Structure 1
Amino acid sequence: MITAEYCLTFARYNAWQNKQLKAAFHALGEAELRRDRNGFFGSILETANHILWGDQLWLSRIAGMPPPSVGMADSARMTETLSDWDIARFQTDGALLEWAKGLRSIDLAGPLEWTSGSTGEVRAMPKAQCAAHMFNHQTHHRGQIHAMLTAAGRDAPVTDMIFMPSEGPWL
């Protein structure tokens, strides 16, 4: 399904995207980030928080890292301020990059089992599919942020992977 190289490419893409979002968020300002824009999670900051939460959740499952400090119901309010989000996002992107750098394709083989915090059910899926889902989740919700930034009359970051720099710094 996917390889270790795929994961590293998408970890770099994620960090590149979030670096651009940070700049866009600071240009927009905290009050505008908190404004309800009728997104699935309400505001731009709430959507960014949910992405952060999802990344931490999946890294806890696939890489053994600590889980997010809140459950799904509070994912949109995971951080209170842009500064708090910046710090948590930087740390999570660094952890994601380190995981991907050390990943071998064999690490993606086999099932991953966990207990869903939302349903309480034990779930199992192929590890590779879980990793692909994590990257897809990021991209999906960043698209929502892109739409909200555009609707706010702001320039949204370049999202086409073909324009991603071939060299870092990724963070």
Structure 2
Amino acid sequence: MVDPAFVRTMARYNAWQNESLMAAADGLTDAERRLDRGAFFKSIHGTFNHLLWGDETWLSRLTGSAKPPVSGRDSVIYVDDWSAFCARRRERDAAILAWADAVEADWLRGTLIWYFGRAGREIGKPRAFVIAHMFNHQTHHRGQIHAMLTAAGARPEDTDLLLVDEAR
């Protein structure tokens, strides 16, 4: 069940895993991070960028923060510089943690309505469902990044959700 404790746990997991993957990616060259590795968003850098774009898009819908200035199709080139990307990723993870700390059970029972660009219309879904989707989207793409990093010889930390409280 999606409740405030789940939201906070997943926010901590998100931040922990992003730090792990960025640390592993730091050991690669910029060219290695940008190499097309056959993933949906091509490279490690492109997939990281898409994930950041997605998180900023969801934060804008959930909190009213600014929407990303690029569309989903341009998400792979969102933040070009690796250092700037890492700084922005940490800022967004802090924003997700702060948002998660403020989530209340009553709010989760409501409906989120937003304009869904790919569908070309407004849609609404239960907030708890949307939150589960957001965290699932993060986990999905981090799994892709983890696989690409491992194939490149980097060593990210374990990804087991059960370890989140021990790792942070």
Structure 2: stretches of 5+ with no match in the other structure: none
What letter corresponds to residue 69 of structure 1 in structure 2?
P
For the residue of structure 1 that corresponds to 2:87, the secondary structure is helix
TM-aligned CA deviation for residue 156 of structure 1:
2.9
**After superposition, where does 1:44-83 map in structure 2 within 5 Å?**
44-83=44-83
- The residue aligned with 2:25 is 25
Contact 1:13–1:164 (CA under 8 A) maintained in structure 2: yes
The answer as to 2:65 corresponding to 1:87 is no
Partners of 2:154 and 2:83 in 1: CA distance:
20
Shift of 1:27: 0.8
TM-score using structure 2 length: 0.95
| Structure 1 partner of 2:139 | 139
Runs of 4+ in structure 1 over 6 Å off: none
Q: Which residue of 2 aligns with 1:40?
A: 40
Structure 2: how far apart are the matches of 1:165 and 1:110? Answer: 29
Alignment correspondent of 2:107: 107
Which residue is equivalent to 1:165?
Answer: 165
Larger displacement relative to structure 2 (157-166 or 8-17): 157-166
Deviates more, 1:123-132 or 1:61-70: 61-70
Alignment size in residue pairs: 168
State the 1:55 CA deviation: 0.5
Q: Is the 8 A contact 2:23 2:156 kept in 1?
A: no
Unaligned stretches of 5+ residues in structure 1: none
Is the Cα–Cα contact under 8 Å of residues 72 and 117 in structure 1 kept in the other structure?
no
CA RMSD of aligned residues (A): 1.3
Of 5-14 and 111-120, deviating more is 111-120
Shift of 1:167: 7.1
Aligned residues: percent identity? 46
Instruction: Give the drift of 1:86.
Output: 0.6
Q: Indicate if the aligned counterparts of 2:16 and 2:167 stay in contact, CA closer than 8 A.
A: no
TM-superposed CA distance for 1:29, in Å, is: 2.3
Is the Cα–Cα contact under 8 Å of residues 146 and 157 in structure 1 kept in the other structure? no
TM-score by length of 1: 0.93
Partner SS, residue 114 of structure 2: strand
CA shift, 1:40, in A, is: 0.6
CA distance in 1, matches of 2:37, 2:120: 32
Cα distance in 2 for residues equivalent to 1:29 and 1:164: 28
Q: Which amino acid aligns with 1:131?
A: I
